[in-house]
Amino acid sequence: MSTEKEQIRQLFKDKRKALSPEEAQRRSELIFRQFQVWFNSHPEIAHIHIYLPIAHQNEINTLLIRDYLLGRGNSVYTSIVKSGTLQLDTVKIDSNTIFEINKWGIPIPQNISAISPNKIQLVLIPLLAFDIKGNRIGFGKGYYDVFLSGLDGEVLKVGLSFFDPVPQIPSETHDIPLDYCITSEKVFTF
C-alpha cells in the first residue's frame, strides 16, 4: 500500500474525528437530502445495500437513508463480516430487524440468515476520502473491494462523504471505483 494512500487515510480520519457530533449529524442530514433527490431520479432501483454507521468512527448516519428506503417499500440489505475472512454475508433487513452493537461498534442484525446478493442494484459504500475519478479510500481492510468484485458489474457503487474529493488517490488493480459520490453539497458522477 502506498505511503500517499496512508497519508490521505490518516488526514481524513483526523478530519472526520474533528467534526462535532452536531456537525456530523447536520452533514449527514444534508447528505440524506442529496441522496433523496438523486434516488428519486432512479425509480428503477428497488434493491439497495447499505452500510450501518459506526458511531465512534463518526460515520455518516445512514440510518436516515435506511428508514427512508424502508418507508418507500424498497428492499434493503446490509452485510455481516464472515468471521476470519474478508467475505461479507448479505442479509435483508426491515423495520422489525433488531440490531446489537458488536465489539467494533458495528450494528449487527440479529436472527437473520445470509442470502444471495444477486438482486442488489445499488451499494452505498463507506469511505474516508475519494478523488475526482471515483477512486476511494476506506479503512484499508478491503472488505468492500472483495464484496463488490462478486457482484454484477451493473450494480451502482455510490459513496457517501462528509468532504469534497481530493485531486488524486493512487489506485491498485483490485480497487473498484465509485459510479457516484454524494456529499452535503452535491452528487459527483464518475
In tens, the pLDDT along 65-88 reads 999 999 999 999 999 987 777 688
What average pLDDT does range 149-171 have in this prediction? 94
The answer on whether 141 is annotated among ligand-binding residues is yes
Domain segments of the chain: what residues? Answer: 3-189
Q: Is the pLDDT of residue 1 over 60?
A: no
The answer on whether 188 is annotated among ligand-binding residues is no
Q: Is the pLDDT of residue 140 over 80?
A: no
The answer on whether 6 is annotated among ligand-binding residues is yes
The answer on whether 140 is annotated among ligand-binding residues is yes
The answer on whether 142 is annotated among ligand-binding residues is yes
Q: Does domain 3-189 have CATH number 3.90.320.10?
A: no
Give the integer Cα–Cα distance in Å for 73 and 94: 10
Q: Is the pLDDT of residue 8 over 80?
A: yes
How many other CB atoms are there within 10 angstroms of residue 70's CB atom?
17
Give the pLDDT confidence score for residue 114 in this predicted structure.
85
The answer on whether 66 is annotated among ligand-binding residues is no
Give the integer Cα–Cα distance in Å for 130 and 136: 4
Mean pLDDT of the chain: 92
Give the pLDDT confidence score for residue 33 in this predicted structure.
98
What average pLDDT does range 112-124 have in this prediction? 92
What average pLDDT does range 80-104 have in this prediction? 87
What is the reported pTM? 0.91
The per-residue pLDDT for range 11-47, each reduced to its tens digit, is 999 999 999 999 999 999 999 999 999 999 999 999 9
The answer on whether 5 is annotated among ligand-binding residues is yes
What average pLDDT does range 83-95 have in this prediction? 86
Percent share of the chain, pLDDT over 70: 98
Own/partner pairs, 113-118, CB within 8 angstroms, 24+ separation? 114/80, 114/89, 114/90, 115/77, 115/90, 115/91, 116/90, 117/49, 117/77, 117/90, 117/147, 117/150, 117/151, 118/152
What is the pLDDT confidence band of residue 103, given thresholds at 50, 70 and 90?
A: confident
